[in-house]
Amino acid sequence: MPDVSERIRDNLARVRQQMADAAARSDRAAEQVRLVAVTKSAGEVAIRALVQAGCHELGENRPQQLWQRAARLADLPIRWHMIGTLQKNKIRRTLPLIQMLQSADSPSLVEAVERIAAELSLRVPILLEVNVSGEASKHGLEPPAVGPLLEELARLEHVEVRGLMCMAGVEGGLERARRDFAALRGLRDRLRSACPDRVWLDALSMGMSGDFEVAIEEGATIVRIGSALFEGADAQTSEVSQTSEVEGAEG
Ligand SMILES: *Cc1c(COP(=O)(O)O)cnc(C)c1O
């Protein structure tokens, strides 16, 4: 059986090469695209191997699992990203742990983050999650709602809008994904030309294991990749993974 560390190093090297190739196709340098490794289905052994291999930005989509992992992996130099639904009663415990909230999907959530960040004396970089695919199951702001919201968010002192985030629609394969990513980029470009002061729209977080190359070709500056990084490393870490799942469960 290949060693977990070796497998993870290979996966990381392959993903980084694919990212660099896609960046070159969009006339950008590889350094212009950041990799956030999504650890939600990975075990602790594999996550440690990934950080040791040089990937320091990690993302979780459930706050309780993020808290648990931030505690268990506190000895490692990790920068955490929250990439999934953040319930309002979990904001206070989450903010001090993260370097970015990528999934700000409603005005009321952002208002609550502002209030709590003020109490904690934090400044929180956020991305606004936009429902570009139009699928009812997807979270996020409707595209026409984003522009008017930016004016309001420019007033906030503890929240910094850094860009936009989306997930591609599940139907329609890569062609559909490309359209959704191009739509997010188009929205960003239009809004940026009339962007209020103290709002930055440089970041575009889009692309997962199945579609990150297309996302980079369409302008992604952050990709969120899970399964492509951890594939083949699960067999030996599933026990840890299952334990984490139970301990991290909601409710
Ligand atoms: C799980 C997840 C990802 C990564 O998905 P993979 O297909 O495993 O790469 C990216 N973004 C979000 C919001 C996720 O929940």
What pLDDT does residue 131 have? 97
- Size (the chain), residues: 251
Percent of the chain predicted with pLDDT > 70: 92
Which atom belonging to ligand 1 lies closest to the Cα atom of 212?
9
Dihedral sign, Cα of residue 76, residue 125, residue 64, residue 229? negative
- Does 223 score more than 60 pLDDT? yes
Report the C-alpha gap between 213 and 23 in whole angstroms: 8
Query: Which tens digits make up the pLDDT trace of 73-119?
Result: 999 999 999 999 999 999 999 999 999 999 999 999 999 999 999 99
Report the C-alpha gap between 118 and 173 in whole angstroms: 42
- Does 250 score more than 50 pLDDT? no
Report the C-alpha gap between 178 and 217 in whole angstroms: 9
Beta-carbon neighbour count of residue 39 at 10 Å? 28
Which atom belonging to ligand 1 lies closest to the Cα atom of 208?
9
Counting ligand 1 atoms within 8 A of each CB, the residue from 38, 101, 139, 209 with the most, and so the one to mutate, is 38
User: Is the CB of 61 within 6 Å of ligand 1?
Assistant: yes
Least confident interval from 161-165, 221-225, 234-238: 234-238
- Nearest Cα neighbor of 216 from 77, 81, 16, 4 is 16
Query: Which tens digits make up the pLDDT trace of 197-216?
Result: 999 999 999 999 999 999 99
Confidence band for 246, pLDDT divided at 50, 70 and 90: very low
Instruction: Supply 112's token pair.
Output: 């609550």
Confidence band for 146, pLDDT divided at 50, 70 and 90: very high
224 alpha carbon to ligand 1 midpoint, in Å?
Answer: 6
Measured by CA distance, the residue closest to atom 11 of ligand 1 is: 224
Instruction: Supply 19's token pair.
Output: 């990212």
Give the start-to-end residue ranges of the domains of the chain: 4-246
Query: Which tens digits make up the pLDDT trace of 37-69?
Result: 999 999 999 999 999 999 999 999 999 999 999
Q: What is the DSSP string of the chain?
A: ---HHHHHHHHHHHHHHHHHHHHHHTT--GGGSEEEEE-TT--HHHHHHHHHTT--EEEESSHHHHHHHHHHTTTS--EEEE-S---GGGHHHHGGGEEEEEEE-SHHHHHHHHHHHHHTT--EEEEEEB--S--TT--SB-HHHHHHHHHHHTT-SSEEEEEEE----STTHHHHHHHHHHHHHHHHHHHHTTPPTT----EEE---TTTHHHHHHTT-SEEEE-HHHHTTSSTTTHHHHHHHHHHH---
Confidence band for 135, pLDDT divided at 50, 70 and 90: confident
**Class for the domain spanning 4-246:** alpha beta
Dihedral sign, Cα of residue 114, residue 37, residue 183, residue 173? negative
Record the pTM: 0.92
